[in-house]
Chain A
Amino acid sequence: MKQRKKVLLSWTALVTASLLSSHPSLANDELSKASKDPKQWVMQAGDYANQRYSSLKQITTANVKELRPVWTFSTGVLRGHEGGPLVVGDVMYVHTPFPNVVYALDLNNAGRILWKYEPKQDPTVIPVMCCDTVNRGVAYGDGKIILNQADANVVALDAKTGKELWKVANGDPKKGETMTGAPVIVKDKVLVGISGGEFGVQGRMTAYNLKDGSVAWKAYSVGPDDQILVDPQKTTSLGKPIGANSSLSTWQGDQWKTGGGATWGWTSYDPQLNLIYYGSGNPSTWNPKQRPGDNKWSMTIFARDADTGMAKWVYQMTPHDEWDYDGVNEMILADIKVKGTPVKALVHFDRNGFAYTMNRETGELLVAEKYDPAVNWATHVDMKTGRPEVVAQYSTDKNGEDHNTKGVCPAALGSKDQQPASYSPDTGLFYVPTNHVCMDYEPFKVSYTAGQPYVGATLSMFPPKGENNLGNFIAWDASTGKIVWSNKETFSVWSGALTTAGGVAFYGTLEGYLKAVDMKTGKELYKFKTPSGIIGNVTTYEHGGKQYVAVLSGVGGWAGIGMAAGLGGDTDGLGAVGAYKQLANYTQLGGVLTVFALP
């Protein structure tokens, strides 16, 4: 993929394009072009490649120490704030967790509120959402703002007025179907996933027509071939056709109907290949004994045709999951050299602790290495079969129901959760916010009731033996599969990273710091404590000739379950560690956007 260059594009041209955008390719052109304009931040991941890189370079390693907050905005909601703001022209769009308010702020007028949209949602959806009522942000395209509501409704708003244009139900919260992920607009369609892996949903990716919200295609993660949109001969896994009934044959009976494979993470897109990329989550339940088989295609990277949804290739990272290692983390598309050969690569930092470098055209597996040395559940990934070599001691399936499997690393929240990493074409490295947490995991039998938790395992979490940092921020070489540098963090780094042409990488911490580090060495250059813990993703944009950096604070999400008393238990003498790890001693609930600039 070409490197991002500064593209001069007049705002008038954009508006004109959006007016003409009843033509699908024009809608795509507008967004594609805008995503290459570093002054704006028009999609959650920064660009279709999910690189979260900006070519802005006013803020540099030399002057970043002068950075200071210049304005703030309270969202009025006190829950976990994931995702980040969009900047389209002179307007910033800010979203909130449930009740999913959307604000349009006027950057020409000190952030004055141009419009506010607050959907009416039944609050009974709140406890159906696993792990807090987070939302990872809105999408912009074709003059519309698309919002994925908690109650599984997808809404299109007029970006100028906030007026509701259409609204469709993408799921049913009574069956445990909710939404936390951000929509992605590709050409004339909006791609929407679903959450509910802890409630036994049948995960799927749905493409809605941007114009009116009608369904263009729907591709399930698990189920019969016609539901999962595969061609038994043409769809491949590691270069080989997957054959007929590739999913059904890996489930007992009709367990696939409550089989999970939720799609609550991020979606990327390669316009040249016309393929979209995303991952599926855990098979339901968390008790592996109850669902024999590989449980395909849960825990899988999908490459699908953007127009039809047909899968070109699939790769299951964790067959028959035994630890809740969802495969939903972002797929970063980057053209890099792998062992000397230039490749159109897809790089993915999975919950299971392995970082995968794949050929995104063919689905060939090139590199699979641990990006946290603590990872112990598998020794390595067999590069021929693509299967992890599971260590028997840490197999919760082998150890069985009602047996406590101890000291598995990583914990269920993964070596990295949804917090997206960043790729810098300047250094050729990936900058990854990580968790450094292990667990005891005990599966047990559960019964399925629609709309009720379908978990079937209990766990306790703690730092790896002999260590007390729960997170790291690392630089990763995806070509060799090696850590270049690693900074310890007291808590899991649950904030999406940003890299910039100024040589500075940014991320937030659970204590609430926005941190700036030197991308070459990891040296900390600046930090500022925002009002609450940061689980949002860092954004940058330029307005009136000045570069800004913005981030939402508001502690919560899955990271928030350790908030009150810290992770960790008294088992294995970790009580003391658990005790002083109390996040509540560092931060409290909040919901504030903080915007930084140089003086």
Chain B
Amino acid sequence: MPKRLALAAAVTLLALPFSVAAGAADGSAPTATKVAAEAKPYKVEGGKVDPGTYNGYRRYGESCMRCHGPDGAGSSYAPDLTDSLKHMDYDTFAETVINGRKNVNTANNNVMPSFGTTEDVANYLDDIYGYLKARSDGAIGRGRPQRIGD
């Protein structure tokens, strides 16, 4: 581990232990100030995730992956969510998932369905958001994340 990262980890460990360990393990440690300023909707420890984030990964695979691609990375017909969540806040995310979105015109035939009444999505909205946010922040990589305690 590079010295700078180790130092960042050590400093932030005092403030927010979980997030810090996550960043360090991934090799993309956020700066101390950033971590301290935001509450993360996920926990990553030694590259492993909390049950909610893990559930989010699974629910994503169930209902979102067909269009948004493996690991939230997008497809030829749906946007890259690891990029979207860099700009989209939780409220907009929730609103889009619950109500859906249409972009149909001469150049586009993109429709996101409403998941408001889909139990496997609506009940786990926060978990799915947490997982995708972790992906978007670079806190976890691609593929199936390991659960803390695995």
Chain A interfacial positions (CB closer than 8 Å to B): 76-80, 97-99, 123-124, 126-128, 130-133, 198, 404, 440, 442, 444, 446-447, 449, 452-453, 455-461, 555-556, 560-565, 567-571, 574-575, 578, 589
Task: Decide yes or no: A128 and B142 within 8 Å by CB, A564-B80, A565-B73 being known contacts.
Answer: no
Which residues of B have CB within 8 Å of A123? Answer: 102, 104, 109, 111
CB pair B69–A446 under 8 Å, yes or no, is: no
**How many cross-chain pairs have Cβ atoms below 8 Å apart between A and B?**
135
Which residues of A have CB within 8 Å of B60? Answer: 458
Task: Decide yes or no: A457 and B61 within 8 Å by CB, A80-B76, A449-B118 being known contacts.
Answer: yes
Q: Digit string of B61-77 for contact with A (CB within 8 Å is 1, else 0)?
A: 11101110111011111
A288 CB → nearest B CB, Å: 15
Chain B interfacial positions (CB closer than 8 Å to A): 57-58, 60-63, 65-67, 69-71, 73-77, 80, 100, 102, 104, 106-113, 117-120, 141-144
Which residues of B have CB within 8 Å of A449? Answer: 117-119
CB pair B70–A130 under 8 Å, yes or no, is: no
CB pair A452–B109 under 8 Å, yes or no, is: no
Main secondary structure of the interface of A (DSSP, over half): loop
CB pair A578–B142 under 8 Å, yes or no, is: yes
CB pair B144–A571 under 8 Å, yes or no, is: yes
Identify the interface centre among B77, B102, B109, B119: most chain A CB within 10 Å of its CB.
B77
Which residues of B have CB within 8 Å of A404? Answer: 144
Task: Decide yes or no: A561 and B70 within 8 Å by CB, A133-B77, A458-B57 being known contacts.
Answer: yes
Which residues of A have CB within 8 Å of B111? Answer: 123-124, 126-127
CB pair B144–A562 under 8 Å, yes or no, is: no
Which residues of A have CB within 8 Å of B74? Answer: 563-565
CB pair B66–A453 under 8 Å, yes or no, is: yes
- A449 nearest CB neighbor, chain B only: B118
Q: Roughly how many angstroms separate A562 CA and B144 CA in the complex, as a whole number? A: 16
Q: Roughly how many angstroms separate A123 CA and B109 CA in the complex, as a whole number? A: 8
Task: Decide yes or no: A458 and B144 within 8 Å by CB, A79-B109, A452-B118, A565-B74 being known contacts.
Answer: yes
- A131 nearest CB neighbor, chain B only: B66
Q: Roughly how many angstroms separate A457 CA and B58 CA in the complex, as a whole number? A: 8
B97 CB → nearest A CB, Å: 12
Q: Roughly how many angstroms separate A556 CA and B76 CA in the complex, as a whole number? A: 6
Which residues of A have CB within 8 Å of B80? Answer: 564-565
CB pair B109–A456 under 8 Å, yes or no, is: no
Which residues of A have CB within 8 Å of B70? Answer: 460-461, 561-562, 565, 567-569
- B113 nearest CB neighbor, chain A only: A127
Which residues of A have CB within 8 Å of B62? Answer: 444, 446, 453, 455-458
CB pair A564–B76 under 8 Å, yes or no, is: yes
Provide 14 A-B residue pairs closer than 8 Å at the C-beta atoms, listed in order of the A residue.
Answer: A99-B109, A123-B102, A126-B109, A126-B110, A458-B58, A458-B61, A458-B62, A555-B76, A561-B76, A562-B75, A563-B74, A565-B71, A571-B144, A589-B76
Q: Roughly how many angstroms separate A131 CA and B142 CA in the complex, as a whole number? A: 20
- A440 nearest CB neighbor, chain B only: B144
Q: Roughly how many angstroms separate A449 CA and B117 CA in the complex, as a whole number? A: 9
CB pair B73–A460 under 8 Å, yes or no, is: no
Q: Roughly how many angstroms separate A571 CA and B73 CA in the complex, as a whole number? A: 16
Question: Which of B61, B67, B77 meets A79, CB within 8 Å?
Answer: B77
Task: Decide yes or no: A575 and B61 within 8 Å by CB, A449-B118, A556-B77, A562-B69 being known contacts.
Answer: no
A570 CB → nearest B CB, Å: 4
